[in-house]
């Protein structure tokens, strides 16, 4: 005998029960954040964004996810929850460099930081970085894999903002907001994670082929640096910078200076949807 399917009204009652439970849990999460504000002293540091903690949360979400709800949706729901609770702790604006295209950058800003934080658009990374520099806890979003100028040199001073995250936290080929971006902010001491360090490097003797010589050792964004007859590089390295320096030397490149301009959690990649 085949089992009779449940009545539609019963299923809807179940859905109402789950929706109410989820809403109550979110309100309970809000109560915990209310206490966390005092424990964490968020008002003092000016920014509540803790990218290493968020990277870890997003990874665990992806690992436990299954069922017919698309991962993109689960991820975007939690990005909205976490970024809104970040905003609730200490309001901030997102300053985005729209050079990679308005649609791609807007999708990235909204996917990762929701609609509660105001989005301020800039044409060029320098404007976004300057706005973050002038703020206490704002976040800048700039493209991570291309540049038209060496904006990262604006991060060299000790009291300048730093790169604190690379987004998306969970990378995949078909990510709905997959533009690779760096998040920049005045870092709170406990917001810093040094899995990958990012360096502003001035070199001479640079050619397009030299970038390839670094291979998997580091990711490099290069722009011409006319004053040095060479290049200004933004170098992301998972290991010791000295390995990059010796690979560059071997390739005939002279490192004039290297300055730490930020760091972020290890990148995490999952397969695209089957
Ligand atoms: O864990 C924290 O420090 C929080 O502020 C909480 C929380 C969250 O909502 O889960 C919010 C902001 C941080 O970036 C990380 C996580």
Q: What are the backbone dihedrals phi and psi of residue 2, each rounded to the nearest 5 degrees, phi first?
A: -80, 145
What's the average model confidence in pLDDT over 266-274?
A: 87
Half-sphere exposure of 194 (CA within 13 A, CB side): 8
Other Cβ atoms less than 10 A from the Cβ of 44: the count is 8
pLDDT beyond 90 at 210: no
Q: Which one of 46, 47, 52, 82 would you pick to mutate in the ligand 1 pocket, going by the greatest count of ligand atoms within 8 A of its CB?
A: 82
ipTM computed for the complex: 0.99
Distances (CA, A) of 224 to 134, 180, 250, 271: 27, 22, 20, 35
Return the number of other C-beta atoms located less than 10 Å from residue 199's C-beta.
Answer: 24
Give percent of the chain above pLDDT 70. Answer: 98
Give distance in angstroms: CA of 226 to centre of ligand 1: 43
pLDDT higher than 90, residue 52? yes
Report the pLDDT value the prediction gives residue 191, as an integer from 0 to 100.
82
Banded pLDDT at 136 (limits 50, 70, 90)? very high
**Per-residue pLDDT band at 273 (split at 50, 70, 90):** confident
- Name the residue with the closest Cα to ligand 1, atom 3: 50
Output the six-digit token pair for 168. Answer: 């998306």
Q: Assess whether the previous peptide bond of 168 is cis (omega < 30° from 0).
A: yes
Compute, in angstroms, the gap from residue 135 CA to the centroid of ligand 1. Answer: 20
* Beta bridge pairs of residue 185: 162
CATH architecture entry for 197-263: 2-Layer Sandwich (3.30)
Where in the chain are the domains? 12-191, 197-263
Q: Please give the model's pTM, rounded to 2 decimal places.
A: 0.94
Whether 228 shows a pLDDT value over 70: the answer reads no
State how far the Cα of 267 lies from the Cα of 52, in Å rounded to an integer.
11
Ligand 1 probe mutation, 33, 47, 48, most atoms within 8 A of CB: 48
């Amino acid at each position: 005998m085949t089992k009779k399917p449940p009545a539609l009204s019963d299923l809807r009652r179940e859905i109402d029960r789950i929706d109410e439970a989820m809403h109550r849990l979110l309100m309970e999460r809000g109560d915990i954040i209310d206490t966390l504000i005092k424990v964490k002293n968020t008002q003092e540091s000016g920014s509540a964004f803790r990218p290493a903690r968020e990277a870890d949360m997003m990874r665990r979400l992806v690992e436990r996810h299954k069922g017919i709800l698309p991962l993109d949706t689960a991820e975007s729901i939690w990005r909205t929850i976490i970024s809104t609770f970040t905003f609730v702790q200490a309001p901030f604006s997102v300053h985005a460099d729209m050079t990679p295209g308005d649609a791609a950058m807007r999708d990235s800003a909204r996917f990762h930081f929701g609609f509660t934080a105001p989005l301020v658009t800039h044409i060029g990374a320098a404007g976004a970085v300057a706005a973050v520099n002038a703020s206490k806890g704002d976040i800048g979003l700039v493209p991570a894999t291309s540049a038209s100028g060496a904006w990262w040199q604006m991060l060299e001073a000790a009291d300048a903002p730093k790169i604190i995250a690379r987004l998306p936290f969970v990378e995949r080929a078909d990510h709905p907001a997959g533009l690779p971006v760096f998040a920049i902010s005045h870092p709170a001491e406990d917001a810093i994670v040094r899995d990958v360090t990012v360096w502003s490097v001035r070199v001479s003797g640079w050619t397009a082929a030299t970038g390839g010589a670094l291979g998997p050792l580091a990711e490099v964004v290069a722009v011409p640096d006319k004053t040095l007859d060479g290049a200004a590089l933004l170098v992301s390295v998972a290991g010791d910078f000295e390995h990059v320096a010796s690979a560059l030397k071997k390739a005939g490149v002279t490192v004039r200076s290297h300055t730490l301009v930020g760091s972020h959690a290890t990148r995490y990649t999952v397969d695209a949807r089957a």
